[in-house]
Structures are given as C-alpha cells and as structure tokens.
Amino acid sequence: MKLTIERLTALSQQDVIDLEKIWPQQAFASGPLAGDRALFAARFNARLLAAVEVEVTGTTAVMRGFTVREVTRRRGVGRYLLEETLRQLPDVRHWRLEGNRNDAALQAFMLACGFRAVGGHWEK
Ligand SMILES: CC(C)(COP(=O)(O)OP(=O)(O)OC[C@H]1O[C@@H](n2cnc3c(N)ncnc32)[C@H](O)[C@@H]1OP(=O)(O)O)[C@@H](O)C(=O)NCCC(=O)NCCS
C-alpha cells in the first residue's frame, strides 16, 4: 500500500479513531466535514498517520496542528504531508505554520522543509 496525501471531505468511523490518536485533545464525528478549514492527512494501509488543518484566505494559508503520529516519525511522512499540501493548493503564495516554537523536532523539521521562523510561527 502506498502512502497518500488526501484532502478529507468526509470522515469514516476509522478516520475518527485515527484522528483522535493524532490529536488526542480533540473530538471528531464521522460524516461530511463542514466549515471553511480544510483537513489534509497522510493515509497508509487505510489508516491516517498524520494530519494538518489548513485555513486558506485568498493567496495566504495558515496551517495548524501539524502532527505525525509518534510511532511513524522520522520516516518522511511529515515532509510528504507538508510538500503535498503545498502542491495541492497551488494558488497559495504565502504559507504560515502555527505551532510550538520551543518544540525542537518541529523547529528542525520546519527549517529542513524550507520554512523560516518569524515571530512565534514559521513562514514560506
Ligand atoms: C515535527 C514532525 C511533524 C516531524 O514529522 P516526521 O514525519 O517525523 O518528519 P520527517 O521524517 O518527514 O523529517 C523530515 C526532516 O525534518 C527534520 N527532522 C524531523 N524530525 C526531527 C527531529 N526529531 N530532530 C531533528 N530533525 C528532525 C530532519 O531533517 C528530517 O530529515 P531526515 O530524517 O532525513 O534527517 C513530528 O515530529 C511531529 O508531529 N511532532 C509533534 C509536532 C506537534 O507538536 N504538533 C502539534 C501542534 S503544531
């Protein structure tokens, strides 16, 4: 099975279980996704391994909650999710990622992916 990056439009019951492992502090419901924030996720063997929420306003996008499940870190999943999310939204010119600036892994990851630290977030 191949790793794929998807923009989720509806959640299955399995997706809900997976997302609650990725973001334990959030609750999800199965069914169509409402609202103006997009959810991109990495899927492998029918399971979601990583996800990010994206809010697009014109040519600017803000990513929040970028997380790869701990068991699958350092295998390129994060980089693939980030690169594919950017590729799937070609009209966006300015990217921002909000996250914990004191998280050393996230800091190293964002710099490795070509973002720069600006104030309390990262930009590209
Ligand atoms: C940061 C994070 C997204 C990285 O995901 P990942 O799938 O492990 O990253 P990748 O394997 O794609 O790494 C790509 C590159 O980033 C850098 N990198 C990633 N994790 C790193 C770490 N822990 N230490 C140093 N460099 C790191 C490396 O350069 C790596 O390339 P390499 O493995 O060839 O050396 C993941 O560790 C994570 O989800 N952390 C928690 C983030 C969080 O708290 N999110 C919630 C709010 S934003």
* Any atom of ligand 1 within 6 Å of the Cβ of 52: no
Query: In terms of C-beta density within 10 A (0-12 exposed, 13-18 middle, 19 or more buried), how is residue 80 classed?
Result: middle
What would the CATH number be for the domain defined by 4-123? 3.40.630.30
31-85 confidence digits (pLDDT tens): 999 877 899 999 999 999 999 999 999 999 999 999 999 999 999 999 999 999 9
Q: What is the mean pLDDT of the segment spanning 88-92? A: 97
Number of C-alpha atoms within 13 angstroms, CB side, residue 73? 10
* Any atom of ligand 1 within 6 Å of the Cβ of 111: no
**Minimal-distance CA residue to ligand 1 atom 30:** 109
CA distances from 94 to 5, 23, 37, 56 (A): 21, 25, 16, 10
* Any atom of ligand 1 within 6 Å of the Cβ of 99: yes
